[in-house]
Chain A
């Protein structure tokens, strides 16, 4: 059973518009959430994170929103740029755990 679900395998967004990537998790014990970005033939790179004591965290064009009651988080990219075309992985963990659980990823295409 998947503990982290990214239900959209791919997403296409016009350059300059907002990209919204979604992620659902099943266990309310998770209290730390991360997003990673991956280009082809490279390892994933950390993008942004949020702890369960917050409902929003911003870093430049990237904002992560957390809705604990719905067990849902989303990543907003505004404005979307061509270099944002990549696979985005949602990841979750508990602060007392040693491991992170990754979703299957969403491939984002930014259209010119």
Chain B
């Protein structure tokens, strides 16, 4: 099992560009999450999904969009990138609420 995979590992965007961060899990988990971690800060929830076709906003959803068309995939879309979106992004999945399995992260810089 690969667990939770994220691509790309690193990306530099110019202000105003768009991109999609990919997240895939092969554990058949219903719950999936996107977090961002800024330096010295904890993990802040951007969006989450409790199953295919269902998504909901977390604490910091502005500037992002998600979709969940399959159990396995939960891509995060950034439209009109801004410097404030420079961060490390983590995707996670869990079979039930509680223990989450995290991907290795995507380090994004917006300049």
Number of A-B contacts (CB under 8 A): 56
Chain A interface, DSSP helix/strand/loop, else mixed: loop
Q: A46 to B48, Cβ gap below 8 A?
A: no
- Chain A residues in the interface with B (C-beta under 8 A): 4, 9, 32, 34, 41-46, 49, 89, 93, 95, 97-105
- Chain B residues in the interface with A (C-beta under 8 A): 4, 31, 33, 35, 40-45, 48, 50, 56, 58, 90, 92, 97-105
* CB-nearest residue of chain B to A94: B97
**With A89-B42, A103-B42 known to touch, is A95 a contact of B101 (CB < 8 Å)?**
no
Q: B40 to A43, Cβ gap below 8 A?
A: no
Q: How far is the CB of B50 from chain A (nearest CB, A)?
A: 6
Residues of A with C-beta under 8 A to B97: 32, 93, 95, 97-98, 100
**With A44-B90, A49-B99, A93-B98 known to touch, is A102 a contact of B40 (CB < 8 Å)?**
no
CA distance A105 to B44 in the complex (A): 12
Q: B45 to A99, Cβ gap below 8 A?
A: yes
CB-contact partner of A105 in B35, B42, B58, B103, under 8 A: B42
CA distance A9 to B103 in the complex (A): 24
